Structures are given as structure tokens and as C-alpha cells.
Amino acid sequence: MMNLRSVRRPCAVALLLSITGASTAVAQGAAAATAAPGAVTRADLATRYLLMDAAYAAADSSARLTDSTRAALNRIFDRSTLSFFGGRFAVTAAMMDTAITMADPTYRYVRRELPRDVVIDGRPARALRDALSARLARLDSAGPLAQAIVSARARAALLVDTVSAERSAEFLAEPSTLARAVAAEVSALEKGHNPYARQVGDLWRSYRGANGTAVAMRVIAPRAAATRAVGVLLALHGAGGDENMFANGYGQGVAARVARENDLLFVSLATTPFMTSPVQFDSLMAVLGRDYRLDASRVYLLGHSMGAGAAARLAQERPRALTAVACLAGGAAVTAAGAPPVLYLGAQLDPIIPAARVKAAAAATPTGVYEERVNEGHTLMVRGAVLRALPWMLQQPRR
């Protein structure tokens, strides 16, 4: 989640708002330390999603899945999603275990504890956090560095003594490395410099949007962003996900990889704020425009499920600001004058947002194109859909 120099790279979850895993080994260490013996935690379910995502991608890439197995696996996994939203965690875990085993027969779930009593250079983590926060409080939070200060504060807040199983940003961080990185950022701000300007690499951040809303985001900048104007790929996750979903989840971060290969600034966002006001988009682009040179002719938008609905709304309300849009397993009609081309991808087996609904939205969109993922369901369709959608968007004429 944070700068690659300050945090282990995370892998986002599909079902949960604030849980992710960095790798199979890290994810298996992400279970809640305080859980009752045998109780299924949100972190347990997050771990299982990561393992499912990896196993499905590996089986799909090696062509080990038959059509019937693919369909059965997707149906089970989507039922586990519905069970999760019904609060039946134990049932959800059992169904996820069944689905993972279908993709990887060697699978066995292992729970480990989260770290406690975090100490950095002989001091409790909270002491460093409080010292950094105090330095930030003395800066001009209304001046030109206001948004950079918002990010630094959010990053400093991740330095905690007891790591939460509910916040992936905390349990994925390497505390001493993070502390050094944030200290350097605070020092730069004290000298009047923006530490995030032209920064290359992978950074977890936050910015202040419309009505003072704090919006979390992952920014993954290619090397080209340090020296020239680059295009932008914005990604909006589905319900229950977080700003890390497209960055490392959803097919093991395939969207971030394709963006990097095409010299695009990749920005994976917390979706909910974008469902309420298009001004969130305006604020975001202003923040990114201060930190990087942006190619306004290449601004792409990708969304899954709830995120697809938010993407369609932005295309309707800010049509001329977007080059192309892709709505995966969701979306609505886009009828605004000057609307960008919109690719709608439905999933044949989707019980949450049926393919027929996605197809109808495409049919009602003058610039819409519809395609369907066969033998796939609501969540596991995303990897293949991203691999189809991103090349399609990049082929569309620049604005």
C-alpha cells in the first residue's frame, strides 16, 4: 500500500472494505490475533480471497480449468460473496475453501497472528507517529502543500503499536521503513517542498475531496512520470473492496501491470466518494495534476460492480474529460452528448448483477459496446475482463 520503500506491496481483497494481503505468506499471517479459537474473522476471509485470486489466475493461465469446472468454481465463489454480505462468515469460509481447492488441490488454510507492541528504534510506534503528527500540525494546512500534508498525515497515522486486522494499510506496513519514509516526507514539507511530486513507484495516499471528504488511493507511477506527461488509468472497485482492489487484487494486480507497461499513471481509488458527487473527480484530477504532468488526451476509467456504476455516472457527468470507459459486471446507460466510448462486460453466470442488465445498459448507450464472459461469475470475471478492457480502451482515439 505505501511507497515501495516504506511498505510491503499489498494485495487487495474482493469482499472486504479494509483487508488485504501482500502475498500468500503475508496474507496467511493476516488473521486477527484476538479472534476466538475457531471463529472466522474478516481477515480470514480476506486471506482466502487472496488465495482464491492467485489460484484462479494460475489455473486460468495454465489452461487447467475445464469449462464445467470454471463454471462450478465461479458459482460457488459468488454464493460465498452473497453469504458474506449476509454476515455468515463460517459458511462463507467453507464455500471459499471449496472453491480454492477446485483451483488448487494442494490448498490448506493456515492462520497466523498479527504483530503486537510494535517498537521502532527502541520507541513505541505511536511515539514516532505522534511526533511526526505534531510536526505536520505546525505546517500551513491551507496553503499550496495542503493536499500533500493530508497524505503525510494519513501515512503517519499508520504507525501504531497494535496492528489492526481491519486495516490493511497497518498490517502490511514494515514499520521502521515506513517511519523513515514519512520522516523524510515531513522534512521535505517543512522546507516547502512537495515530497510526492513526480514520485515514481507505488504509494498509498489520501487526498481531501469534495466537502472535505478524505479519499484513500493507491498511486502507481511509471518511470516516465518523472520526466514527461503521462496518461491516467483510474480504477474503481466493487462493494466491499478498497483502494487496493485493482492495484494488487482482481487477477493479482493485472490492471496495474498493464498500466505500467503502457506508461500510464495508475490510480486505484476508494469508490464510495465517487458515487455521490462528480466534484470528487475534479478534486482528484487537480491533485494529480499538481503532482504529475498529465496527458489530458489519455484519461481512462475502469470500474467493477459498484465501481462500474460510479464509472458510468462519471462518464455521464464528465463526458469530455474521459477518453474511454470500461464497466465490468455493472454500469448504467451513458447518454450525455460527447460521451466517450464505453465497453460493458457482463458475466454469464453473475447472480449479483445479471449479464442481461449490463447488456441493456450497453444497448441504451450510443457509444456502448457489449461483450460477455462465458462460464464466469461476478468477481472472478475481473481478471479476464481487465485483460480485454484495457487494450480496448487504449485503442480508442485520443480526446
- Cell numbers given for 61: 493461465
Q: Give tens-digit pLDDT for 95-127.
A: 999 999 999 999 999 887 777 888 898 999 999
Distance separating alpha carbons of residues 203 and 146, to the nearest angstrom? 18
Q: What does the pLDDT look like over 6-27, one tens digit per residue?
A: 333 333 333 333 333 333 333 3
- Give the range among 30-39, 130-139, 289-298 with minimum mean pLDDT: 30-39
pLDDT of 34 strictly over 50: no
Share of the chain above pLDDT 70, in %: 88
Higher-scoring residue by pLDDT: 389, 164: 389
Q: What is the mean pLDDT of the chain?
A: 87
Between vectors from CA 242 to CA 55 and to CA 150, what angle results, nearest 5°? 140
pLDDT in tens, 48-94: 988 999 999 898 888 888 999 999 999 999 999 999 888 899 999 99
pTM, entire model: 0.88
Q: Return d(Cα 192, Cα 140) in angstroms, integer.
A: 10
* pLDDT(36) > 60: no
Task: Name all domains of the chain by residue range, CATH numbers in brackets.
Answer: 11-103 (no CATH), 119-190 (no CATH), 201-394 (3.40.50.1820)
